[in-house]
């Protein structure tokens, strides 16, 4: 298993764990190669927010701040988030 997917899942759990269950986080995260939507095949991880994770498409300062926290956590592992569209976020090596 790709260690980066576990790092991303852990970061999502830290930030969104009170709103979203572990299973939802697991169901929403894929390696870039295994992403069923094919959005970012070169990404380390692809996150589908329509599966329950709060999406950046909602112009809520709280949601944007939460994603900033996810990104800060990922930067400790040399990863970063990049929104692909309103429902998909890709995670790349920094």
Q: Are 34 and 18 in contact (CB under 8 A)?
A: no
For the whole model, what pTM was predicted? 0.93
What confidence tens digit (pLDDT) does each residue in 33-61 have? 999 999 999 999 999 998 889 987 666 88
> Hey, which residues does 47 pair with through a beta bridge?
29, 89
Domain locations in the chain as residue ranges:
3-93
Helix (H) or strand (E) holding 93: strand 88-93
> Which of 26-30, 35-39, 57-61, 64-68 bottoms out in mean pLDDT, i.e. has the lowest?
57-61
How many angstroms separate the CA atoms of 46 and 59, rounded? 21
pLDDT at 1 over 70: no
What confidence tens digit (pLDDT) does each residue in 75-87 have? 999 999 999 998 9
Question: Which whole-number Å values give the CA distances from 24 to 33, 59, 77, 93, in the listed order?
Answer: 20, 22, 23, 24
């Amino acid at each position: 298993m790709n260690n980066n997917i576990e790092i991303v899942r852990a970061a999502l759990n830290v930030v969104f764990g009170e709103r979203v269950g572990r299973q939802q986080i697991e169901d929403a995260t894929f390696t870039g190669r295994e992403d069923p939507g094919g959005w970012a095949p070169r990404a380390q991880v692809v996150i589908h927010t329509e599966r329950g994770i709060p999406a950046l498409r909602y112009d809520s300062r709280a949601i944007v701040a939460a994603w900033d926290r996810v990104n800060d956590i990922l930067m400790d592992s040399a990863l970063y988030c990049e929104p692909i569209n309103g429902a998909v976020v890709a995670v790349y090596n920094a």
